[in-house]
């Protein structure tokens, strides 16, 4: 879907630089750009961290040392700064050995004590990477697993990261309502020690590849993983066809109050009380009278799917309130003559450029018996319950940490399924394009390992690690995911692919965690529209031909800059107005 409301916000000081480094228009010869020597692009898409949360202490970047009190100190619902950070993660509420809390706060009307003042803090000082605070695969603990009660890894609780809440948290670029708008409250201000990350250690060891850190890279859309995966592949927000708008149980429109919030939380009380609803879709533009209150002016409305929504086609979550037919997203169909629901995969295929989406755990989840990544322990007729999500039915045997809403192409009819004997498509035979392009991550690793004399990778590869290795707070830990990222990069760098491959490692979204830099459209420079971009996220680019072993790129980018890079390299048309307007990642070749 092309958005007519895109606007470009460029500070005057940056304008001359952009003019000097602008790329040719899409379709121009890539030989005239630094991208011309790149024959393979690999996108590794990790999960849920803001830039300051992970990379805030990386040398030479706009990180924690440049944050000031104006965008660090968090304020309550009434705009008054907190004295302390209230916590509800069980491992931050009480510290071992039990010392007395050192901070007292009266700003909320109810006095509370805390170990944390109103500023960023190092998570590693309180929850170490070896602590037994991780849940069993598939288990959910809203406030984390108490130390000594879980598995090793140093997991925290999960943090809310949804469409409307993030806009409230950004507060027009003030970056000071992350705590108030979150269910995890004070944890939003936690950061990791950058120098302890496995990826940092790898890139500071002898013989490391040339790399760039983009310190002005933002998530494509406000909110969470589902929507940002859609923006990665289609630069658009999907429409839920024929969405109900009658106030019934299957009317999945959110109800958003005058402050832009769809929910109450520990430190936020909606003026609409329990009338607010945080559902899958945007608020209705015309809610049913006497059933739901009118949507306030300025709130994005319509039948857009913005929060986690299950796909129509298998694999989708086998259990859960949003797995029913009425609540799964109808297949996204391409309309002839329209750009709606066209993906980067469609554009690549139309230009005979091979590509694939490689997902960890895909063969098991999709029922690809015998394919790379399939677990032999599932046997010929039944899922192995010890390694499979509850409620799964053979041959669909997803891992308990397989994330269905991360599989962006599975929402599109072009990569869906054919009708079965009963006429249903949800679990029917796979379309040829689906079989060709939606593959298991193990196949990517196999191709890299066979790239000895010549690179065997496809021109474009998207790599989506399984939940245990994607760094997502709540159900996995940071160190395991960062180590897996190192393994993926080593597989490429240890092969013939390293001489002509550009690797982009970034995160789908901020995971509910604070960052001090205002996004475009919220006071920062860059390209913006009603959908985003949102919070700044880590972005690492590994490529030959940089101006040194390590450079820092300060040019504004967002998730659609990845699409623009692919489009410019392979001469493809833009999918929408955002990817047509953003800078592509060739700016790294001008960075120092």
Strands 438-440 and 355-359, how do they pair? parallel
d(CA 272, CA 288): 17
Residue with tokens 């991550």: 441
Q: Distance between CA atoms of 589 and 592, rounded to whole angstroms?
A: 8
C-alpha dihedral, 408 to 588 to 62 to 505, nearest 10°: 30
pLDDT of residue 524: 83
Q: Which of 571, 469, 577 is CA-nearest to residue 32? A: 571
Give pLDDT tens digits along the chain (592 positions).
334 334 444 333 333 323 323 333 433 433 346 798 999 999 999 999 999 999 999 999 999 999 998 889 999 999 999 999 999 999 999 999 989 999 999 999 999 999 999 999 999 999 999 999 999 999 999 999 999 999 999 999 999 999 999 999 999 999 999 999 999 999 999 999 999 999 999 999 999 999 999 999 999 999 999 999 999 999 999 999 999 999 999 999 999 999 999 999 999 999 999 999 999 999 999 999 989 999 999 999 999 999 999 999 999 999 988 999 999 999 999 988 888 999 999 999 999 999 999 999 999 999 999 999 999 999 999 999 999 999 999 999 999 999 999 999 999 999 999 999 999 999 999 999 999 999 999 999 999 999 999 999 999 999 999 999 999 999 999 999 999 999 999 999 999 999 999 999 999 999 999 999 999 999 888 999 999 999 999 999 999 999 999 999 999 999 999 999 999 999 999 999 999 999 999 999 999 9
Q: Phi, psi (5° rounding) for residue 40?
A: -140, 130
β-pairing verdict for 550-553 and 211-214: parallel
Instruction: Please give the Cα distance from 332 to 305 (Å, whole number).
Output: 11
Residue 369 CA to chain centroid, in angstroms? 29
Q: Which of 471, 539, 584 is nearest to 211 (CA)?
A: 539
Residue 198 is encoded by which pair of tokens?
Answer: 């496995």
Identify how many contiguous H helices and E strands the chain contains and give both numbers.
14, 18
C-alpha 450: how far from its chain's center?
30
pLDDT of 34: 78
Closest CA to 558 of 527, 591, 580: 527
Secondary structure (3-state) at 563: helix
Pairing state between β 438-440 and 217-218: unpaired
Three-state secondary structure of 368-385 = CCCCCCCCHHHCCCCCCH
Residues in the chain, overall count: 592
Bridge-based pairing state of the strands 151-152 and 526-528: unpaired
User: What's the farthest any 2 CA atoms get from each other in the chain?
Assistant: 69
Stated pTM of the model: 0.94
pLDDT at 393: 95
Q: How many CB atoms lie within 10 A of CB 30?
A: 18
Nearest to 26 by CA among 35, 17, 18: 35
Q: Find tokens 């700044």 and name the residue.
A: 536
Between CA 282 and CA 305 the distance in angstroms is 7
Query: Two tokens at 318?
Result: 């086998």
| Separation between Cα atoms, residue 222 and residue 166, nearest integer Å | 6
């Amino acid at each position: 879907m092309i958005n007519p409301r895109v606007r470009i916000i460029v500070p005057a000081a940056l304008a001359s630089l952009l003019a000097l480094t602008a790329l040719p228009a899409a379709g121009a010869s890539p030989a005239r750009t630094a991208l011309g020597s790149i024959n393979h692009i690999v996108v590794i898409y990790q999960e849920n961290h803001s830039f300051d949360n992970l990379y805030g202490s990386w040398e030479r970047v706009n990180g924690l040392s440049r944050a000031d009190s104006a965008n660090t100190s968090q304020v309550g619902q009434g705009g008054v700064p907190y004295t302390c950070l209230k916590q509800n993660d069980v491992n931050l509420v009480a510290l071992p050995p039990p010392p007395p809390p050192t901070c007292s706060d009266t700003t909320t009307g109810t006095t509370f004590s805390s170990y944390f003042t109103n500023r960023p803090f190092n998570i590693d000082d309180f929850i170490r990477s070896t602590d037994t605070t991780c849940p069993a695969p598939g288990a959910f603990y809203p406030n984390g697993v108490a130390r000594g009660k879980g598995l090793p890894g140093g997991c925290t609780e999960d943090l809310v990261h949804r469409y409307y809440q993030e806009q409230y948290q950004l507060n027009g670029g003030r970056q000071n309502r992350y705590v108030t708008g979150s269910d995890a409250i004070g944890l939003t201000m936690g950061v990791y020690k950058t120098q302890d990350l496995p990826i940092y250690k790898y890139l500071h060891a002898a013989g490391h590849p040339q790399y760039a850190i983009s310190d002005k890279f933002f998530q494509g859309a406000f909110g969470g993983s589902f929507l940002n995966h859609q923006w990665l592949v289609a630069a658009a927000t999907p429409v839920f066809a024929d969405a109900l708008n009658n106030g019934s149980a299957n009317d999945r429109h959110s109800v958003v109050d005058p402050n832009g919030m769809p929910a109450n939380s520990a430190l936020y009380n909606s003026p609409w009380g329990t009338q607010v609803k945080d559902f899958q879709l945007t608020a209705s533009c015309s809610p049913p009278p006497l059933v739901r209150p009118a949507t306030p002016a300025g709130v994005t409305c319509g039948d857009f799917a913005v929060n986690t929504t299950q796909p129509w086609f298998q694999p989708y979550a086998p259990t859960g309130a949003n797995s029913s037919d009425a609540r799964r997203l109808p297949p996204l169909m391409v309309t002839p003559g329209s750009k709606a629901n066209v993906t980067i995969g469609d554009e690549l295929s139309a230009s005979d450029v091979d590509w694939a989406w490689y997902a960890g755990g895909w063969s098991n989840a999709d029922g690809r018996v015998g394919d790379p990544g399939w677990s032999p322990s599932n046997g010929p007729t039944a899922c192995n319950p010890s390694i499979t999500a509850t409620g799964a039915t053979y041959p669909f045997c997803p891992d308990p940490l397989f994330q269905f809403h991360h599989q962006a192409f599975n929402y599109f009819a072009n990569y869906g399924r054919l009708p079965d004997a009963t006429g249903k498509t949800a679990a029917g035979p796979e379309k040829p394009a689906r079989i060709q392009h939606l593959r298991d991550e193990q196949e990517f690793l196999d191709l890299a390992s066979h790239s000895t004399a010549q690179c065997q990778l496809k021109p474009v590869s998207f790599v989506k690690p399984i939940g245990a290795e994607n760094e997502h707070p709540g159900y996995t830990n940071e160190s395991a995911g960062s180590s897996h990222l190192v393994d993926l990069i080593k597989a490429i760098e240890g092969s013939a692919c390293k001489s002509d491959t550009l690797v982009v490692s970034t995160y789908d979204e901020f995971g509910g965690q604070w960052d001090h830099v205002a996004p475009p459209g919220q006071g920062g420079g860059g390209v913006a529209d009603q959908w985003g971009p949102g919070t700044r996220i880590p972005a690492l680019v590994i490529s030959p031909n940089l101006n040194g072993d390590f450079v820092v790129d300060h040019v504004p980018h967002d998730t659609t800059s990845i699409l623009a890079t692919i489009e410019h390299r392979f001469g493809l048309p833009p999918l929408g107005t955002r990817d047509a307007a953003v800078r592509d990642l060739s700016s790294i070749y001008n960075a120092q």
